[in-house]
Structures are given as C-alpha cells and as structure tokens.
A and B are shown apart, each in its own frame.
Chain A
Amino acid sequence: MTASILDQVRGVASDLFSLPLDGIKPESSPENIDSWDSTQHLNFVLALEEKFGLQLSPEEMEQMRNVGAAAKVIENKLQRA
C-alpha cells in the first residue's frame, strides 16, 4: 500500500507538529500552525529528505511554503530522478 505523496507529507507534518492528520491540509503553513517555526521547518525538510531518500536544495526549501507546496516539490524531484 503506497499512500499518495501528499498524504505521506501530511503524515510527516502531523507527527512533527503533533496535530491530527485531519488537521493537516495542503494549505497548512507556518501562518496557521503555531509550532511551525524555523527550527521545525528544518526538521520538516530533514524528515522529508529521509523519507523520500533525496536532498533538497536551498531553493527547493524556500518553495516549500506550505504542505501542498512541499508535496509538489518532492513530486517534481522524484519525477526528475
């Protein structure tokens, strides 16, 4: 069973920000999740790198402004790989 990339990213965010999975939407971002500060953003990036086995560039990290965008960046990266 392979969940969609968006769902997997939501799962990571749910654990990291200690929020129920239902509460994590594509538009969830540092704007609407209190604990999503710069340290947690780094943790989020590192967890995604580990999960998908890739390394994200500074530009890509910049683009990951919300959960949906993060999933998009990873999808693009995996397609190119």
Chain B
Amino acid sequence: MTITTENIDLRAEADQLISAGSADLARASLAELWRKEAGAVIAPFLVSRFEQLRGKLPMVSLRTSFLRSFTVEPGIPLLRAEAFVRGIDLTTKVGDFNAFAQEILDSRSTLYSFDPEVVILAVRTPDVAPDLWTQYTDLPPDVIASIVQRVGDSFAQWIRAFRERSSAALIVHSLEALARPSAGVLDAQEPTGQSGAIHKINLQLRQIAGEHRNVYILDYDGLMARHGRLRWQDERKWLIARMPIAADHLIYLSREWMRFLVPLSGKTAKILVADLDNTLWGGIIGEDGMNGIKLGPEYPGAGYQQLQRAMLDLARRGILLAVCSKNNPDDAMEALKNHPGMLLRPKDFAAVRINWTDKAQNLREIASELNLGIDSLAFIDDNPFEREQLRKLVPEVIVIDLPEDPLGYAAVVRDCPVFERLALSSEDQQRTAMYAEQRERAHAEQTFQNKEDFFRYLRQEAEVAPVNAATLARVAQLTQKTNQFNLTTRRYTEQQVAEMASRPGWQVLSLTVRDRFGDHGLVGVAITKEEGDSCEIDTFLLSCRVIGRSVETALLSHLAQLAASRNCGQLVGRFIPTRKNAPAREFYAQHGFQKVEDNHEGSVWRWSLQQNTIAIPDWIRLKTTQGDHN
C-alpha cells in the first residue's frame, strides 16, 4: 500500500481549513478522508483534528465506558474517529481486565464515578465460560446444562446490579461460538452440542435484556460469523496482548458499536430520500421506458429490488421514505405506480420530488414540507457527482455513497448506523400512514379562509395522561428526538423518565391527539416539578406533526389547572434556546406569562395561578386521565 498524493492533499487541506477557521469545510475533508482510508493508520489523525474543531461544529458528547475481558483499546481510536465523523464527541473510559464484575457490583467503583451515558460490556466466551470453551468433551450433559444456567444467572445478576446503580444505556456483547467445535462434526449431531449450549446462553441474554430498560444485546457471535470466524480472530495477538481480533477487522467491531451509539446519541436519520434512475431501478426511465428499465427478482434487476426491500424494512422501523429525481414526472410516476418489479409504491413515500430543479433545493423543500430538520435527511444516489455536489451545497444532509455494483446497494443501506433504532413505538411503525393523513390535512387547510374555521373542521381531541408502562418508551423517545418545539431540550432515557415520574411532586404527562383525519398518536410531553408554592415546567415539547394546531395551549392549560389544584401559587416556565427551537421561543410570551429573567442561558417566565386560568381553545376537546398523582 502506498500513500497517494491525493490523501496527502486531503490531510493538508483539512489542516489548512482548520487554521483558516472553516470548520464545516474541514469536517467535510476529514469525512472524505475517513470514507477513503478508514482504519488504524488514519484514525489518530482524525481524532486529533476533530478535537481541534470542538466548539466549532455541532457535536453531541457521549460518555462511554467499557467493561471488558479483552483488549479493546486499539478499537477506540477507530470508534472515536467514526463517531466524530457522525457528529458525536465520545469520551471513553476502559475498565481493568476482567474486573467487570467487581466494577458493576461496587457502587463506588470508577465505573460509576465516571458517570457514563453508555456502558459496553464486552466479554468473551473463553472468559465467562472457560470450561464450556476448552473442556466441553470432558463434561456430561447435566454439567453442561448447569454451566449454561450459571453463566446466564451471572449475566442476570450483573445486569440487575448495574441497573440498580446507573441509568446509563448498557450494551452487552453476546457470546461467540467456536470456529472449530471440540467434538468436530459430532457437535452438530448432538441435540444441543457445544455451539448450541453457547447459543442457549445468548437466548437467555436476550431475555434478560428484555426485562430491563435501556439494556441491549450486541450480537457479537453474529458479527464474527458475518465476517468469518477464522478471519476475525488472531490467536497470536490474543496470547501475547489479550487482543483476540485481527487488526483489519477491528473497524467492524467499532462500526457495530456505532450502530448502538448513533441511536443513543440521537444522531439518526428520520427519512431516506432516494434517487430513481440507476438507484431504485437500472437504466433511465425517460430513455429506456417501462419495458427497458432493469427491476425484478433476477439479475440484473435484483440489486435494485433488494434495495427497495431494504428501504421497506426501514419504513417498518419508522423511517420515512421519499423520492428526489431529475425526471419527467409522468414517466417516473408511471413506473412507481405500475412497474411489476417495484416493491415500493407511491403510498410508501412521504414526499415525492420529480422535477428538473436542483436536488439541494428539493431536499430543503422535503425537509420543510415534513417539518423535519435538514440534518435528519439521508440521501442515496448512484451518481458520485450529485453526491459530491449535495455534500457541498447542503452539508447537513447525510449523503450515503453507493458502490458501483447495484448488488451492493442494499447492504450499504442496511449497514448505515443512522437508520438503527433500539426500540420501536407504535408511532414508528405507522409513521408513513400518518404522513399520508398529514397531506390530506394540509390539503383541507388550504380550503379554509381562516385558521379557526379549519381548527373547528378538524375536530381535534387531545388527551393528557400520566406516563405509564405502555407510553414510557415513546415519552423518552420524544425527549430525545424533538428539536423544534422543545422549550428546554432536556434529553431523558426511559430510566430517567420513570425515575422522575416516581418522585413526589413530579408529573410526567403525555399528550395524544387525534382529529377527523386520523390519530397523531403520542405527540407531546410535559414534565413538571413542585418546589415550595411554585410548579416548574422542566420539559414541554410537541412533535413537529402537531405544531401550529394550538394543542400546546390545551396542554399548558391543563398544567396550570393541575398545579392550581395542588395548591401551587405560580407556574414557572423556562426557555433554553438551541440552534433549532426557535418555533418555541415566543410560547410563554404568547400565553401571557411574565418574563422574570433573561440571560445568555435562556429566559424564565412566570404565571400567577391565583388570579388566572389559561383558556383551552373552544375547538379542542380535552380529556384528562388521572393517574396516581403523588
């Protein structure tokens, strides 16, 4: 391998841009360098340069701690570089070798004093089940069964103890099977066998994770298998440095970690926008026509169809799909509607832009039409020129490179961490249908002269209820993902939300909204805490779906009523400005709150509960469910 002139230029370019203060362009150079050269050689360079860009780029920080039974250190520069490229500034801490159990059980250990937001428990089969690993053929079946039970119980104990001591997300590596089972081909003839016994432990892990909040399994065994067990491992480095993974495979472990860290940090894409010609089908519809484009289950149309299947899988995960293509709309719509090879149909797209306008403009329009931040758009296009142009014109958009071979398209989309989700709410799964309803609403809105008539026509019903087990995941998700109508932008995990809801004097309320067109689902959250005679609004947010429908007034009115009924004298609100929450800036002013403080951190607003009530708009029917308000 050689250092090419081009890469020297990218490094020099990044350094020049950093010293010139062009943070966005420097980021683009570093990201390009990483796309071309991702690995242990370039990772330290990227990390040091991104560290110089701290404070000049929008980055979220994430404190991540490793509990491990092997050397993970060489993977960390790779992980940090990968994270920086995706706008995540990772602070990492690695625990001592094989000290994970003590660190978990001792609430005064450095694990907890580091106060991590994410903890990765990376232990391997030879360390937690050495007898199963090396002495399998010596052991009778009942002993093997008891080992499986014992190892599962140990994990259950560690996970439970961790959950009691920390609200951080916990990612647990599953246990790997052997590349060469001790009993040879006989292993597959036994009812369970050595590999089956390890698999049984892994099934227990999944179950344990499901019993706790914010605990996730990383399928380490599957990861190894995907890359080939024999290529994955490096026995020499294991023996001399406790590093079991081959140098050129470490990047895959880092990327697997990223598939969890990206959704945990909120740096995900909410919509995938796809080009059409040579992306969703082979060929050019305007030239090749319906019968000429390649799309179907056989080669060469199969690659395109597989991409469409991958996109459908994303839609099931709550990710919206859209089309953005330079084409004659009639030709392209004909294919979308009627081509027999299409797995995606017009109803699967939340937005469609088929025109000759430039794509940057189209993407901005799609974002604003769907009320999404431009940085929640991901874009795929077979044309490298279009991709480069978009990276320059709209650097916030996540532009995904497609390989030259269409048979590789689906894998790229499936591997991209911005589409990962760690839990699904029913809202996620119904999102595309909701956007179709949204289009009908927008259409109806245009036929009314004034807003109030439109609101009356909508027949909105709002329901406020205390958070419960069924709504907890969605409530936490909204605090993590809502950027625009969010007064304080405080991000909470499920665990934290549950804790707040159980504290005396705290209320965690959810708002669900429906109207004549359909159900918006759970779209608002308010969290309040009482201090003395005042009730402070810790969190007040509304999903972008219902911004401008006046349901926020109904929710605020309910908060005021609830606080008054609990003998509070005043309601106190706070606005903390971010880059994105301008839509919420005037919220308290519009509702007649009095500003009592205003500084660089934000403003504080007060509403006296003695004289006033906040009126619920007469076009909203508000229903409240009483929980066990403590």
Binding site for B on A (CB under 8 A): 1-3, 8, 11-12, 15-16, 18, 39, 42-43, 45-47, 49-53, 55, 57-58, 61
| CB within 8 Å for A43 and B1 given contacts A18-B48, A50-B40 | no
Binds A, one of B23-31, B69-77, B401-409: B69-77
Binding site for A on B (CB under 8 A): 1-5, 39-42, 44-45, 48, 71, 73-74, 77, 234, 236-237, 239-241, 243, 246-248, 250
| CB within 8 Å for A42 and B39 given contacts A1-B3, A51-B1, A55-B234 | no
Give, as a whole number of angstroms, the nearest-CB distance from A73 to chain B.
15
Give which listed residue, B41, B45, B48, B243, contacts A42 with CB less than 8 A: B243
B41 and A50: CB pair below 8 A? yes
Give, as a whole number of angstroms, the nearest-CB distance from A11 to chain B.
7
> CB-nearest residue of chain B relative to A38?
B241
> CB-nearest residue of chain B relative to A13?
B44
Chain B residues closer than 8 Å to A61, beta-carbon distance: 240
Chain A residues closer than 8 Å to B41, beta-carbon distance: 12, 15, 47, 50-51
Cα–Cα, bound, A45→B241 (Å)? 11
B44 and A39: CB pair below 8 A? no
B44 and A55: CB pair below 8 A? no
Cα–Cα, bound, A16→B73 (Å)? 13
Known: A42-B71, A42-B243, A55-B247. 11 other contacts (CB 8 A): A1-B4, A1-B5, A11-B3, A15-B44, A18-B48, A39-B74, A42-B241, A43-B44, A46-B243, A50-B40, A55-B236
Give which listed residue, B40, B42, B48, contacts A43 with CB less than 8 A: B40
Give, as a whole number of angstroms, the nearest-CB distance from B227 to chain A.
15
B73 and A39: CB pair below 8 A? yes
Cα–Cα, bound, A57→B276 (Å)? 50
- Residue among B2, B247, B248 with the highest chain A CB neighbour number at 10 A: B247
> CB-nearest residue of chain B relative to A61?
B240
Give which listed residue, A3, A8, A43, A55, contacts B73 with CB less than 8 A: A43
Cα–Cα, bound, A43→B41 (Å)? 9
> CB-nearest residue of chain A relative to B251?
A50
Cα–Cα, bound, A2→B4 (Å)? 7
Chain A residues closer than 8 Å to B237, beta-carbon distance: 42
Cα–Cα, bound, A12→B11 (Å)? 13
> CB-nearest residue of chain B relative to A3?
B3
Give, as a whole number of angstroms, the nearest-CB distance from A31 to chain B.
20
Cα–Cα, bound, A57→B239 (Å)? 11
Cα–Cα, bound, A16→B237 (Å)? 20
| CB within 8 Å for A52 and B44 given contacts A42-B241, A43-B77, A46-B250 | no
Chain A residues closer than 8 Å to B250, beta-carbon distance: 46
Chain B residues closer than 8 Å to A15, beta-carbon distance: 41-42, 44-45, 48
Chain A residues closer than 8 Å to B40, beta-carbon distance: 43, 46-47, 50
Chain B residues closer than 8 Å to A11, beta-carbon distance: 3
Cα–Cα, bound, A58→B3 (Å)? 27
B247 and A46: CB pair below 8 A? yes
Cα–Cα, bound, A52→B248 (Å)? 11
> CB-nearest residue of chain B relative to A62?
B240
- Residue among A11, A18, A42, A55 with the highest chain B CB neighbour number at 10 A: A42
Cα–Cα, bound, A43→B2 (Å)? 20
Minimum-distance CB pairs A-B, first 8: A46-B247, A47-B40, A49-B247, A15-B44, A15-B45, A2-B2, A58-B240, A39-B73
- Residue among B2, B71, B74 with the highest chain A CB neighbour number at 10 A: B74
- Residue among B2, B41, B48 with the highest chain A CB neighbour number at 10 A: B41
Give, as a whole number of angstroms, the nearest-CB distance from B71 to chain A.
7
A46 and B74: CB pair below 8 A? yes
Cα–Cα, bound, A39→B247 (Å)? 14
A1 and B236: CB pair below 8 A? no
Chain B residues closer than 8 Å to A3, beta-carbon distance: 2-3
Chain B residues closer than 8 Å to A53, beta-carbon distance: 1
Give which listed residue, A1, A12, A45, A49, contacts B248 with CB less than 8 A: A49
Give, as a whole number of angstroms, the nearest-CB distance from B254 to chain A.
12
Chain A residues closer than 8 Å to B48, beta-carbon distance: 15, 18
- Residue among B3, B71, B243 with the highest chain A CB neighbour number at 10 A: B3
Chain B residues closer than 8 Å to A2, beta-carbon distance: 2-3
B73 and A42: CB pair below 8 A? yes
Cα–Cα, bound, A8→B8 (Å)? 12
B3 and A16: CB pair below 8 A? no
Give, as a whole number of angstroms, the nearest-CB distance from A42 to chain B.
5
Cα–Cα, bound, A45→B250 (Å)? 13
> CB-nearest residue of chain A relative to B250?
A46
Chain B residues closer than 8 Å to A8, beta-carbon distance: 3
Chain A residues closer than 8 Å to B234, beta-carbon distance: 55
Cα–Cα, bound, A60→B190 (Å)? 43
Chain A residues closer than 8 Å to B42, beta-carbon distance: 15
> CB-nearest residue of chain A relative to B4?
A1
Give, as a whole number of angstroms, the nearest-CB distance from B627 to chain A.
51
Chain A residues closer than 8 Å to B241, beta-carbon distance: 42
Cα–Cα, bound, A46→B244 (Å)? 12
B74 and A58: CB pair below 8 A? no
Q: List 13 A-B contacts (CB under 8 A).
A: A15-B41, A42-B74, A43-B44, A45-B247, A46-B247, A46-B250, A47-B247, A49-B248, A50-B39, A55-B236, A55-B246, A58-B239, A58-B240
> CB-nearest residue of chain A relative to B245?
A46
Chain A residues closer than 8 Å to B236, beta-carbon distance: 55, 57-58
Chain B residues closer than 8 Å to A39, beta-carbon distance: 73-74
Chain B residues closer than 8 Å to A50, beta-carbon distance: 39-41, 247-248
